[in-house]
Amino acid sequence: AMRENARSKELDRIVFTVADQMNRGVGVTCDRVRKIDMARLNLHAGKKAMSSCAHVSAASFFRAGIDNLQGEDQCWNDEYDLWLQLNNGYATVAYCNGNFDQMEEIVGQSIFRLSRTLADRATGFLLTIKALGARDKVQEAVSFGFGILSELGEPFPNSL
């Protein structure tokens, strides 16, 4: 257990370097297990970069992780929780970087389209409302929010 903990701490210290180097050689990596491991490594690096407010770096790690789960073997479907965390992270850093169009694309094309439950779309809902508000589209944000509440079984009148 001590040895595993030491390895984990060491990886955490150099995760950016390891992920970056592994991503550069990703074309060589083609087996499914390695792709999933790479996606997990990129998720770890993305979260760490995000916690340091290095949103541009975080975006590249999240994107690389997503890329590892896509392809003919549909890893994303078998590794759904990992896929969802990567997409939520990627959409969040796009929002933080002010890339609202990119955030909307990630949310619309991935999270809303492929998520399995309404709860899995929660981050996408929140980011969409925040992005609309940030672009001074308050009425759209309110309408979108009411739409979500309606999906949850809490309908509101069309006019207040």
pLDDT at 74: 73
Sign of CA dihedral 71, 77, 83, 88: positive
pLDDT at 19: 73
pLDDT at 73: 64
| Burial classification of residue 46, based on how many CB atoms lie within 10 Å of its CB (0-12 exposed, 13-18 middle, 19 or more buried) | buried
Q: Could you give the domains of the chain?
A: 2-151 (1.25.40)
pLDDT at 16: 65
How far is residue 95 CA from its own chain's centroid?
Answer: 11
pLDDT along the chain (160 residues), means of 10: 51 67 62 87 94 94 91 79 97 97 96 94 97 96 92 76
